[in-house]
Amino acid sequence: MASVTKPETAEAPVSAPVPAKRKGKVLLIVLVAAVFILIIVLLGFIFLVAMSKKGTGGNTAGDPAPPPPPPAVSAPAVPHPSAIDLNRPPVFVQLEPFTVNLRAEEGGDSHYLQTDISLRVHDQKTADALKGWMPEIRNRVNLILGSKSFRDVQDDFGHEKIQSEILRGLNTMFGVPPPPIEAPQAQAPLGPVQGVLFSSFIIQ
């Protein structure tokens, strides 16, 4: 009897183990990607810090230092014309008398004005300085008085208005900005001339 040989059973294929070289390659790729992401995050942080310093006025190394602000300059303290110091006598500049023809009104009589004017100033130094400007001062006062009519000068309100106009005109001549026309004399801006006084006011 012939012997029957059993066919050899095929063995199941065994999966080969992943080589260690391949595992190391994957780990290296992951590590490089992590380092790359870390560098991007670090650069973004540095950029944000630099922008915030620039926005808040921080000075970077390459920028020139900003110039220092100019020092604050305050105007010299000068007493207001209405604030009279009783312990310090006032200083006045007496002008020579004025005689001007008043502006003639239609159908009215001609009149002229004769007046003595004194200017109140801050101190004797100012009074001495005004003497060098006397021709200009007299010319300005003459123009103001000669522009008035008899109706403009016949009452106390007209006198006060002329005082304010002379005060404003003289101080404007010395560079002081004029106040509003309706402002009373006490509210006129401070200047070399602090007050205008009539010693006499005669209309004929």
Predicted confidence at residue 122, as pLDDT, reads 83
Nearest Cα neighbor of 82 from 196, 204, 197, 194 is: 194
Going from N- to C-terminal start, the domains of the chain cover 25-56, 91-203
- For the stretch 147-188, pLDDT in tens is 998 888 888 888 999 999 999 999 888 888 766 555 554 444
Q: What pLDDT is stored for residue 180 in this prediction?
A: 58
Q: Is the dihedral of CA 155, 160, 139, 128 positive or negative?
A: positive
Residue ranges, the chain, pLDDT below 70: 1-23, 54-87, 178-190
In CATH terms, the fold of domain 91-203 is Tetrahydropterin Synthase; Chain A (3.30.479)
Task: Give me the pLDDT at residue 75, please.
Answer: 35
Q: What is the pLDDT of residue 45?
A: 83
CA distance 79 to 86: 13
As beta bridge partners, residue 197 has: 118
Rg (C-alpha) for the chain, rounded Å, is 49
Q: Residue 198: CA atoms inside 13 Å, Cβ hemisphere, count?
A: 19
Half-sphere exposure of 118 (CA within 13 A, CB side): 11
pLDDT at 56: 56
